[in-house]
Chain A
Amino acid sequence: MTSARLVAPPAVSDDSSAVLDFIRQTAAIADIELRKLLRDPTEVLARAVQPVLWITIFGQVFSRVRAIPTGNVSYLAFMTPGILAQSVLFVAIFYGVAVIWERDLGIVHKLLVSPAHRSALVYGKALSAGFRGALQVTVIYILALLMRIPVVWKPLSMLGVVLGAMLGSAIFATFSFIIACLVKSRERFMGIGQLMTMPLFFASNAIYPLAIMPTWLRYVALANPLTYLVDALRGLMIGQPQAHSLLVNFSVIGIIFVVLAAIATKLYPTLVR
């Protein structure tokens, strides 16, 4: 298809490879989202302030208190992967606002009238959310460097951290996308977004280990995708033994993502009805 032709192909062709189309369309959506992100990074930079505050203020204070058992690592090192996961969550969970904005304009209509696979539109958005997650990783590593937090500086581990942050970002952005399709208005969305972030964050192992939670909360935490993300990041970033193996952690978040993306694909067309 990409080879040069002497004769122009017909305007409309119904036979093309579904898989190749899907990849091309996903890349097209992700590409423009990335352009927008790089053109105006103020939002992402503003989001970077939050993890900085958590680590410099909350982290420093709680390191002195020594109230939370963190094994053989300092509390600051323990919470750093947790704060990365948190900032990934906080950035991604409001992704739905952009979807509602695009619906209030006619951009969603325009995308849905195109022959692009609905799933490609969803995966493209998820991939672009992944880039935002990757940017948060950069912020956290710079912070770790400046504050001499003992993180693992091995390329393979760091690559794993980027991959985890991207997947985590994709999960929460897609979840946010689903909420946006259900509520359809910015006001309602903001309320629900605020409502969800706190339980997701505190009912996880982000800033304290599962072991010190009351039993019921531990079960809630085990149903929370953030817990698996934090567990994976903690293993990769500070080499602390994990509750689950990397394989289990990545499988859980991978499967959750695929399920959420399928739901979002189903719901996306209802945005314009």
Chain B
Amino acid sequence: MGTLENTVDKNSETQATGEVPHAIETFGLTRRFGSVNAVDQISFHVPYGAIFGLLGPNGAGKSTAIKMLTTLLEPSEGTATVAGFDIVKSATQVRRRIGYVPQALSADGALTGYENLSLSARLYGIPRAERKPRILEALKFMGLEEPANRLVKTYSGGMIRRLEVAQAMLHRPTVLFLDEPTVGLDPVARRSVWERLLELRRNYQMTVLITTHAMDEADELCDSLAILHFGKIAAIGNPADLKASVGPDANLDDVFVHYSGGTIQEEGSYRDVRQARRTAGRLG
């Protein structure tokens, strides 16, 4: 059902706007904070159904980029379309077609898992008759049927993340954005989030954009990726080509270090660190 709807939706947008069928396209997207270019002239496109990774050390501009694409932040310069709609001129149309899992905890601990999803269903205008089956489907898909009626504050970090993904997929978005989806999770919980994401793409043909600074995550999930460095795209391509471009035995860590010109953890401001630790603390 979801498959069919997504296809129909996709086609009608393509016809309506005459755009090439890319789920995300950016043209010189730029965001300045004062004199700092947090995101500096980035251009890339993501085909429908792909999993695309934005990589970079803390402070490279990943979160700023994702905030622009999810309409939370207006670009200072440049444009972008998501699901065929301009992120500034048609922000509401974009919002109807995207799901977003922010880096920080976004499930409400004082509500049950079911109530969290129910709020989303209502905000996204899912008709009353469809709400319950959709919520149950999403909960089942994410393996959260059993704890659905428990308060989220009793959930483990991995369960919360899966609930947030369930919440973001409830309205069957064309594009799903995940900002650092597995930061602060233990290896088992990370793997279970990855498996769900891969299955989400398989079952619902969702396009997924994730940001991460974990190379194993990018290797596992992404069809293609862009490495951000000081707000600019330092390299872009599929993981195999990127590795080959650095050396015969290079892994993604080498690619990352090569293009971001330094070690992985050396950058980032106090604020980034605080944010990441807080998130990790809450999830863990």
Contacts and interface: CB of A to CB of B under 8 A. Distances in A.
Given A36-B110, A114-B123, 14 more contacts: A8-B5, A10-B8, A11-B8, A28-B122, A28-B123, A32-B108, A32-B115, A107-B105, A109-B106, A110-B120, A111-B123, A113-B71, A114-B120, A115-B96
B74 to A, nearest CB: 9
Contacts of A273: 67, 72-73
Identify the interface centre among A11, A13, A21, A36: most chain B CB within 10 Å of its CB: A11
A114 B9 CA distance: 18
14 contacts: A5-B127, A11-B171, A14-B96, A24-B122, A28-B122, A36-B111, A106-B103, A107-B105, A109-B100, A109-B102, A110-B106, A110-B120, A113-B70, A115-B92
B209 interface: no
A137 to B, nearest CB: 24
A27 B73 CA distance: 27
Interface string A22-61: 0011011100100110011000000000000000000000
A103 to B, nearest CB: 9
Given A11-B9, A110-B167, A112-B72, A105 B105 contact: yes
Interface in B1-22: 1-2, 5-6, 8-9
A107 B123 CA distance: 13
A12 interface: yes
Interface in B181-203: none
Contacts of B125: 13, 16, 21, 24, 115
Pairs of residues from A and B, 5 with the lowest C-beta to C-beta distance, nearest first: A106-B102, A106-B106, A106-B104, A28-B122, A11-B5
B130 interface: yes
B106 A269 contact: no
A35 B105 CA distance: 20
Nearest to A16: B125
A1 B111 CA distance: 27
A97 to B, nearest CB: 14
Interface string B85-128: 00000001101111010111110101100010001101111011
A215 interface: no
Nearest to A25: B123
Interface string A82-120: 000000000000000000000011110111111110000
Best-buried of A12, A27, A35, A107 by chain B (most CB within 10 Å): A12
A14 B111 CA distance: 29
Given A28-B122, A115-B123, A272-B67, A107 B106 contact: yes
Looking at B1, B71, B96, the one whose CB has the most chain A CB atoms below 10 A away is B96
Interface string B167-188: 1000110100000000000000
Contact of B123 (A1, A2, A5, A116): A116
A10 B11 CA distance: 12
A149 to B, nearest CB: 36
A163 B236 CA distance: 59
A9 B172 CA distance: 12
A113 B282 CA distance: 22
B115 A35 contact: yes
B36 interface: no
Given A4-B129, A10-B8, A114-B120, A272 B105 contact: no
Interface in A222-273: 269, 272-273
Given A107-B108, A115-B92, A115-B96, A11 B2 contact: yes
Nearest to A107: B106
Contacts of B123: 25, 28-29, 111, 114-116
Contacts of A1: 127
Listed residue (A4, A40, A273) with the most chain B CB atoms within 10 angstroms of its CB = A273
A269 B72 contact: yes
Contacts of A27: 122
Contact of B172 (A11, A16, A32): A11
Nearest to A36: B110
B180 to A, nearest CB: 11
A114 B129 CA distance: 20
Contacts of B106: 105-107, 109-110
Contact of A2 (B1, B104, B127, B174): B127
B24 to A, nearest CB: 15
Contacts of A104: 104, 278
Nearest to A272: B72
A105 to B, nearest CB: 5
Nearest to B99: A113
Contact of A115 (B5, B9, B95): B95
B181 to A, nearest CB: 12
Which interface residue of A13, A25, A105, A269 has the most chain B CB atoms within 10 A? A105
Contacts of A111: 123
A32 B71 CA distance: 25
Contacts of B115: 32, 35
Nearest to B85: A14
A134 B122 CA distance: 25
